Amino acid sequence: MLGSYYTFSKRDLEIINKRRREENRLGFAVQLVILRYPGWPYTHIKSIPNSVIHYISKQIGSTPSSLSLYPQRENTLCDHLKEIRNEYDFVTFTLKEYRMTFKLLHQLALENGDAIHLLHEKDLNIEEHYTDTAGYTDQIFGLTHLLGFKFAPRIRDLSDSKLFTIDKASEYPKLEAILRGQINTKVIKENYQDVLRLAHFIKERKVSASLIMGKLGSYSRQNSLATALREMGRIEKTIFILNYISDESLRRKIQKGLNKREP
């Protein structure tokens, strides 16, 4: 993450090194990177990890501790912010930019059927999201449930879908033939608070949904957080599939929702 978001280009270094004082070079550099990610002004950040400060300091040849001298001059902070805005064409995120971003994310989600693009938009008031078969995973089922909206994919090849039960499959003799596995409730209980914390961070836009879901998807099965979210998703997916099979009106509703975006 440090390399992705906090590495300076040659142009960045030229602009940063215009400052004579060490604390001003470091402060300017820190302002620049946190405006890029996570996108907040320096004055809105309560604390910056030491690893980030050391990584930045190493690139510009400054002493990490010199940053403590930077906030002492408010005029310098404001002047640097204005210069960064002018040099990099940064703008204040107003209602106008919010509406443009909403329009882009909403259209993107409709075009590719991927709910991830909507997960970190807490103000959309989503009640139900339709997608095609390729647009869902067990973890998406779990996360959308935690975020408070229904995930409703159109499912092809229902015979290949895996249904899960909390109890043994033999407890449900009429469904035993189509039950493929048992939910690991132990891993859910052990990691429930961490899963809730993850959902909270996404809902409050403290972390990118697409980034964190990509990370979780790349982990091995031994990762407890990813496994817990997957197991929770399997519960929601099983309930949804049973409703999907038995409720023709639900199938029509999903098809109607998808037709709005299909040519």
Name the residue with higher pLDDT: 52 or 151: 52
pLDDT at position 14 over 90:
yes
**For the chain, percent of residues with pLDDT exceeding 70:** 74
Q: Maximum CA pair distance of the chain?
A: 78
**3-state SS class at 193:** helix
Tell me the per-residue pLDDT of 60-119, one tens digit each, with 9 for 90 and over.
999 999 998 887 777 888 899 889 988 888 877 777 776 776 666 555 555 445 555 555
C-alpha angle 57-39-103 in degrees, rounded to nearest 5:
155
Question: According to the model, what pLDDT value does residue 160 have?
Answer: 75
Amino acid 45: pLDDT: 78
pLDDT in the model for residue 207: 65
Residue 51 has pLDDT above 80, yes or no: yes
Q: pLDDT averaged over the chain?
A: 78
**In the chain, what is the straight-line distance between the N-terminal and C-terminal CA atoms, in Å?**
39
Structure tokens that stand for 154 in this block: 């159109």
Strands 179-182 and 163-165: parallel
Q: Is the pTM of this model over 0.75?
A: no
Residue 237 has pLDDT above 80, yes or no: yes
The DSSP symbol for 131 reads E
Which tens digits make up the pLDDT trace of 133-160?
A: 555 678 888 888 887 777 777 777 777 7
Query: For residue 231, what pLDDT band results from cuts at 50, 70 and 90?
Result: very high
